């Protein structure tokens, strides 16, 4: 199962929803074409919407915020530039209607 979610700050629980197989294929195809990000992580998000994530196992997660996508596993972390926020917008397009705007 693929689980996506929106991270909210200020102690609010994250919103989560499921993502289908076809969306995952599109996600991975786009990820493969993104350029590596040479710097460190972005500054912490402002209060409210704090990014979104995609998990496809208990140990693999992508985090998306403000034009950067970071793949995190127990053994690595890799960030890539998504200037147009294609992956973030793709994941959020399947969010439930009660998601606050980003």
In sequence order, the 6+-apart residues with CB closer than 8 A to the CB of 29 are none
Q: Taking 70 as the threshold, does the pLDDT of residue 57 lie above it?
A: yes
Residues 1-45: pLDDT tens digits?
799 998 877 667 778 899 999 999 999 999 999 999 887 656 655
Closest among 38, 97, 90 to 64, alpha carbons compared: 90
Taking the domains of the chain in order of start, what are their residue ranges? Answer: 2-92
- Identify the pLDDT of residue 88: 93
Mean pLDDT (whole number) for 87-91: 93
Which segment, 10-14, 45-49, 97-101, is predicted with the most confidence on average? 10-14
Looking at residue 99, its pLDDT comes to: 58
- Mean model confidence pLDDT for the chain: 84
Q: What is the pLDDT of residue 77?
A: 87
pLDDT score of 102 more than 50: no
Do the Cβ atoms of 90 and 19 come closer than 8 Å? no
Q: What is the DSSP letter of 13?
A: P
**Spatial contact of 51 and 42, defined as CB atoms under 8 Å apart:** no
């Amino acid at each position: 199962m693929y689980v996506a979610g929106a991270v909210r700050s200020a102690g609010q629980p994250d919103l989560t929803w499921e993502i289908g197989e076809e969306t995952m294929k599109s996600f991975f195809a786009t990820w493969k074409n993104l350029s590596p990000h040479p710097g460190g992580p972005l500054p912490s998000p402002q209060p409210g919407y704090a990014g979104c994530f995609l998990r496809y196992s208990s140990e693999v997660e992508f985090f998306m915020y403000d034009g950067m996508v970071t793949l995190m596993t127990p053994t690595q972390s890799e960030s890539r530039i998504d200037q147009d926020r294609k992956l973030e917008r793709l994941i959020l397009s399947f969010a439930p209607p009660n998601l606050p705007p980003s």
